Structure 1
């Protein structure tokens, strides 16, 4: 069965961030992911991981002013130096926390910047990041995000992601396939996953509509979990959803997942 990681930016938000590690472990998760670790020291987070027997699965490269509404800067021509500094910072944290992959958020295409210029900037930044990360033994994934939740997000479907991956030309660059985002943008989930499986290094989930837990919407997760096993996906699945009520109440789907095998 694929391994499940709790997204601590979305789950267990009833408690303070540093208490969510224990809550995730008690709920049965073996790994965790979240948006960013940078508000805490790497050493303090590592202590929480070790105390609760958790694997650090993923976090994002610094993505600009998140609280101010930015959703990544990798396609912003005027933020290249900031992006590069963020890569170094992410490597520092990953070396301590032990995660073997980080995610790059392209960001919203800036006003007044053409698609070609945004793409060229994104490709150049990915080339810079993927080489530095490879030297540190870390893989880079990039995530396509739907343009309903984040209007204007630059990277928004699998075909585009594969095209950019080819332009970067590195075997150390992979896709992060978010089932929720891609259900909205392209559908045909099973076939798309199978056809791109060799380049997918991380999967995330939420149901649609609402971005709530599996079983609350239209996506057949019972089928998809079995299908991921059948096609040979052996990476982590990040549970990046908004609980419909509370985190604890929304975890009942895990019992059904555990019985699928």
Structure 2
């Protein structure tokens, strides 16, 4: 599923066999409570997104951010920030500053992310990418963002893979020149949505980042996508560690919150913590249960997997 469609649909909950946590197991309809630990800051900096708490806080993203803070979250991410109007961007930035919250990623998307583009080496795609990087700098200033997601697009299967890789590296170097001046970082995200996407694994992303050779070009390690594409998560995190600047979360199968699938998130989060990771862990996933009950269970799931210091 394309990122745009996922964000529109991601919080529409599917039914899961996972039982409710203790905080909501006995809740009556209309009488949902968040976990007792709500409000306590987490050990890692998890970042919800727009719509994730719409049932509890309403549709207004600013109200949702306040609600997120009340539950103990200290960051947000918003893939579509680039498309928001300037006034809303400024309101979000001001609120985050007031609450002491961190802005996570938004997507550098000039319309070419989900088609054959940077791999071709064509000037039209390069120019659009660089223009979008410049626009993203202005957005980053308004919301006090540091990281922005970059997707190089699809394979150009009529070109050898080495030529495609060179074309992508050239484009990213040019983009990094723009971002370096503002101390901003593009984070390359290898994805599993479909086999046409050029960037697929952490090791490939590591190679590209090494070639770009810039503090403004690093890896976004999305645990959900990497479980699907390469597995052996902790080993790959360690191998790519020097180039990883951002983490995203989603259990597999289903791309819902931790505890709903096969990934041992408590172990992974403990590993990130022990390695000294101080960045943002974006919650780029849906919710397994509907309504306020599902949102309460979401918070409880994060409390469960964040409870790794006592083990």
Same fold (TM over 0.5): yes
Q: How does 1:73-92 map to 2 (within 5 A)?
A: 73-75=117-119, 77=122, 78-92=124-138
1:130 maps to what in 2?
176
Cα pair distance change 1:71/1:13, threshold 3 Å:
farther
Q: How does 1:66-215 map to 2 (within 5 A)?
A: 70=114, 73-75=117-119, 77=122, 78-110=124-156, 112=158, 114-146=160-192, 149-215=193-259
Structure 2 Cα separation of the partners of residues 54 and 172 of structure 1: 22
> How far does residue 75 in structure 1 lie from its aligned partner after superposition?
3.5
Query: Does 1 or 2 have the higher relative contact order (CA < 8 Å, sep 6+)?
Result: 2
1:221 partnered with 2:265: yes
Cα pair distance change 1:19/1:71, threshold 3 Å:
farther
1:259 maps to what in 2?
307
1:6 maps to what in 2?
48
Q: Is the 8 A contact 1:157 1:182 kept in 2?
A: yes
Structure 2 Cα separation of the partners of residues 131 and 183 of structure 1: 32
> How far does residue 52 in structure 1 lie from its aligned partner after superposition?
4.2
Contiguous gaps of at least 5 residues in structure 1:
none
Cα pair distance change 1:139/1:72, threshold 3 Å:
farther
Q: Considering only CA atoms, is the larger Rg found in Structure 1 or Structure 2? A: 2
Cα pair distance change 1:93/1:206, threshold 3 Å:
same
Cα pair distance change 1:65/1:170, threshold 3 Å:
closer
> How far does residue 229 in structure 1 lie from its aligned partner after superposition?
1.7
Structure 2 Cα separation of the partners of residues 72 and 43 of structure 1: 33
1:40 partnered with 2:96: no
Secondary structure of residue in 2 paired with 1:29: coil
Cα pair distance change 1:93/1:73, threshold 3 Å:
farther
Structure 1 Cα separation of the partners of residues 95 and 136 of structure 2: 18
* Stretch deviating more after TM superposition (71-80 or 100-109): 71-80
Q: Is the 8 A contact 1:30 1:55 kept in 2?
A: yes
Q: Is the 8 A contact 2:118 2:153 kept in 1?
A: yes
Runs of 4+ in 1 over 6 A off after TM superposition: none
Q: Is the 8 A contact 1:13 1:20 kept in 2?
A: yes
CA-based RMSD of the aligned residues comes to 2.3
Could you report, residue by residue, the CA deviation over 1:126-152 in whole angstroms, capped at 9, with x for unpaired residues?
A: 101111111111122111111xx2331
- Provide the TM-score with structure 2 as the length reference: 0.74
1:60 maps to what in 2?
107
* Stretch deviating more after TM superposition (10-19 or 207-216): 10-19
Structure 2 Cα separation of the partners of residues 48 and 113 of structure 1: 47
Could you report, residue by residue, the CA deviation over 1:82-128 in whole angstroms, capped at 9, with x for unpaired residues?
A: 11110000000111211222221112225655534432332122101
Could you report, residue by residue, the CA deviation over 1:143-197 in whole angstroms, capped at 9, with x for unpaired residues?
A: 1111xx2331110001211121222122432111111100111111111112221
Secondary structure of residue in 2 paired with 1:196: helix
Contiguous gaps of at least 5 residues in structure 2:
1-42
